[in-house]
Amino acid sequence: MSTLLLISGSQRRESWNARLLDHLAFSLQWQCAVDLLEPRSMGLPLFDQDLEADADVLATLTALHQRFSQCSGIIVACPEYNGQATPLLKNTIDWVSRLAHIDARFGNPFFNKPVLLCSASTGWSGGALVIQNLRALFGYVGAMVMGSSIGIARAPDQWTADGFQFDGTTESQVEAALSTLLQWTEHFRKMSEAELLSA
């Protein structure tokens, strides 16, 4: 079974993007394993090469790198800060992508990893700019970024006591994006298994 790593780019306790990930996790629970990466558990300092030899930083980074490496695919939900990814998310990707350069025992955990980009916003854009920004970032580190994405505009208007309640069109788009991601993750998971067997 595939495992998806779900990452929120927001540290805010009542984050709309964290709520969106909870909604997606509920939709996925019978189709794959879900590893929800809590923002407050990332625990990495602002990226600084002078800290690359720090034992505590390396211990945290190694554990985080392992979660990225072991997943079959990634779902990212990030708010838009001045049209860009949040410092938390960018810093995490910078550190995790760096470990292979620090220690040759580690590889690139993003290489050919399917990634679905999402954003929930309080405005009308549905995080269109941050999704574009993240597409460049994850593409740069070697991920297979899906063409489709999930953008939720005016998130508070779609929140109820029972969680998000999307209209039929939005829900269909969400389901289609998740279905495509699962197909990608299963394909690459089988490819990885075949490569290990032939090694």
Domain ranges of the chain: 3-198
Tell how strand 163-164 and strand 159-160 pair up: antiparallel
Pick 3-198's CATH classification: 3.40.50.880, 3.40.50.360, 1.10.540.10, 3.40.50.300.
3.40.50.360
Q: What is the pLDDT of residue 157?
A: 94
More reliable by pLDDT, 11 or 76: 76
Instruction: List beta partners, residue 3.
Output: 33
> What's the whole-model pTM score?
0.93
At residue 25's C-alpha, the angle toward residues 20 and 26, to 5°, is: 100
Q: Give the number of other Cβ atoms within 10 Å of residue 83's Cβ.
A: 12
The residue with tokens 């998740």 is 178
Tell how strand 73-77 and strand 33-37 pair up: unpaired
Least confident of 38-52, 95-109, 112-126: 38-52
pLDDT in tens, 138-195: 999 999 999 999 999 999 999 999 999 999 999 999 999 999 999 988 877 777 666 6
Dist. CA 185–CA 121, nearest whole Å: 27
pLDDT in tens, 6-22: 999 998 888 999 999 99
